[in-house]
Amino acid sequence: MLFLCIVSEAFAYGVVKEPMVVGAYAIFIPVALIIYFSFREGILGGCIASAITIAYYFYIIITRHYKGTQLNAGIETTIILGLLYFLLADIIGWLKQTIDGMIDREADEKRRLQAIIQQLPVGVLITDGKGRLLERNKQLDKILGIKMPIGLQLGRDTLTNIKINGENIKPTESPLFHALTSGKPVVGEEMVYERKNGKKVFLRVSSTPIQNSKKHVIAAASIISDITQEKELNRQKDDFLSMASHELKTPITSLKMFIELLVKQKDTVKATYYMRRISDQADRLKELTNDLLDVSRIQTGKLRFSKEVFNLSEVVRDTIEGLQGTTKKHELILKDGYKETVVGDRYRIYQVLVNLISNAMKYSSQGKKIIVRIKKEKNTVVVSVQDFGIGIDAEQQERIFDRLYQVTDPHEKTFPGLGLGLYISKEIIERHKGKMWVESEKGKGSTFSFSMPLRQKIL
Ligand code: ADP
């Protein structure tokens, strides 16, 4: 602004050599500059430009020695123009600040929305009205296993490996495009998506169109959740139900059969044999129902433990003696290197031992020997049960402690069981502040071990 005043003076005195020549341009150019500064700097910038212009006008009045009516007219015009300039600077500056505020608010809003979208535990995908990607979050990248660039035209060559009910669908048949083309939301559609690495994931997709004030679809948003685990859990529950019914049916059928035989039997030796079998089957039923009850107690946090000091090797010896009586195929060997006592629930530890040793017998129909070891390691006592049976694959070893998990191998005959024993045993040991683990090699046998702290405060 000052520069303009200097140029104007230089023009009047230096170029045209006539100070009174300062005329209309001294009004139009400052007005243009006041508008410019008001837009650029806001009210303050506009007001400073106005003040400099007014000061320049007064400078002209003084330096050109205006007198009489010319002086009065000059002062009046300057005051009126000054008021107009300030008004102009205020209006334009206010407009600029309001627009800036709106832009900032909108940017803040957008940032907030983006932060929320990024934090959502589900995948989010937003496109414009033509299916061009506007926004997506990290969760979506994780679910799909790809990072789609913003601006990507969906529906051409991406996501072609989506299946609904086993059929490949065209991208244009996806819920998002349905929402875009029909203007109606699609809720909870389930589909299978195959990642680039071949892994299949189950997805639940909901898409909704976004309309402008004229009811035109200008965008669409999809919420995508990975329901693979949910599906797997449901499948496990279904399997469990059919397995549990099967497992319960077997002893019940045998019970019924032996009771019928017993009723007809006159020979006391045979009758005693049937009665023993009935008792065995009743025990099996009791075991199964106890396992089921224990699992539900673990789930509801109601598994209770007593706390007593007991001799662990005594419990191990008793368990081995009891189980040796049930098998002629296996030789149970105890290698005992620890004689001290531990604190905990004697019956529950016995239950763990029964589970490990009976598993060792169940999964080593060929192997004769089962070795049980007790030894002291640092502040713990470690009990291990080694068999020389079918062994477990490295990848299955982590999962066998999961609820309902059973190794399925097409080459091996299936063994009876509900896949609950190890889950319950591990929970019992962990509640005693101990650990349970397995070392195994497929075809060579397994060693299941657990540790317990040495007589410390537990439970
Ligand atoms: P269950 O024996 O009733 O199926 P468990 O929870 O006791 O259930 O065992 C889970 C799975 O771990 C079993 O189905 C079996 O596949 C595997 N497993 C357990 N113990 C052994 C073992 N000693 N040798 C080989 N596999 C075993």
Angle between helices 43-63 and 2-10 (to 10 degrees): 30
Q: Give yes or no for residue 320 CB within 6 A of ligand 1.
A: no
Chain centre distance of CA 219: 26
Q: Give the confidence band of 429 by pLDDT, cuts at 50, 70, 90.
A: very high
Alpha-carbon torsion (26, 27, 32, 36), positive or negative: positive
Predicted pLDDT of residue 458: 43
Give the C-alpha separation, 94 to 88, whole Å: 10
Q: Give the confidence band of 427 by pLDDT, cuts at 50, 70, 90.
A: very high
Ligand 1 atom closest to Cα of 291? Answer: 3
How far is the centre of ligand 1, averaged over its atoms, from the C-alpha of 341 (Å)?
Answer: 29
Ligand 1 atom closest to Cα of 423? Answer: 6
- Give the pLDDT confidence of 194-206 residue by residue, as tens digits: 888 888 899 999 9
- Give the pLDDT confidence of 159-187 residue by residue, as tens digits: 556 666 667 777 677 888 889 989 999 99
Residues 37/1, Cβ–Cβ less than 8 Å: yes
Q: Give yes or no for residue 418 CB within 6 A of ligand 1.
A: yes
The best mutation among 284, 352, 422, 441 to test binding of ligand 1, ranked by most ligand atoms within 8 Å of the C-beta, falls on 422
Q: Give yes or no for residue 370 CB within 6 A of ligand 1.
A: no
How far is the centre of ligand 1, averaged over its atoms, from the C-alpha of 400 (Å)?
Answer: 7
Per cent of the chain over pLDDT 70 is 93
Q: Give the confidence band of 213 by pLDDT, cuts at 50, 70, 90.
A: very high
- Whether residue 459 is predicted with pLDDT greater than 50 in this model: the reply is no
Q: How many CA atoms lie within 13 A of 122 on its CB side?
A: 15
What's the Cα-to-Cα distance from 203 to each of 139, 146, 236, rounded to whole Å? Answer: 13, 15, 18
Give the C-alpha separation, 81 to 92, whole Å: 16
The best mutation among 298, 366, 406 to test binding of ligand 1, ranked by most ligand atoms within 8 Å of the C-beta, falls on 406
Give the CA dihedral 370, 376, 379, 381, nearest 10 degrees.
30
The mean pLDDT of 292-303, rounded to a whole number, is 88
Give the C-alpha separation, 212 to 224, whole Å: 24
Q: Give yes or no for residue 390 CB within 6 A of ligand 1.
A: yes
What's the Cα-to-Cα distance from 329 to each of 154, 326, 355, 361, 417, rounded to whole Å? Answer: 65, 9, 18, 9, 20
- Whether residue 457 is predicted with pLDDT greater than 50 in this model: the reply is no
- Whether residue 22 is predicted with pLDDT greater than 70 in this model: the reply is no
Its pTM stands at 0.58
- Would you say how long the chain is, in residues? 459
Q: Give yes or no for residue 445 CB within 6 A of ligand 1.
A: no
Q: Give the confidence band of 314 by pLDDT, cuts at 50, 70, 90.
A: very high
Predicted pLDDT of residue 161: 62
- Whether residue 127 is predicted with pLDDT greater than 90 in this model: the reply is yes
Give the C-alpha separation, 154 to 162, whole Å: 13
- Whether residue 382 is predicted with pLDDT greater than 80 in this model: the reply is yes
Min mean pLDDT across 3-17, 65-79, 427-441 is at 3-17
The mean predicted confidence, pLDDT, of the chain is 88
How far is the centre of ligand 1, averaged over its atoms, from the C-alpha of 398 (Å)?
Answer: 12
Predicted pLDDT of residue 454: 84
- Whether residue 209 is predicted with pLDDT greater than 70 in this model: the reply is yes
Classified as helix, coil or strand, 277 is helix
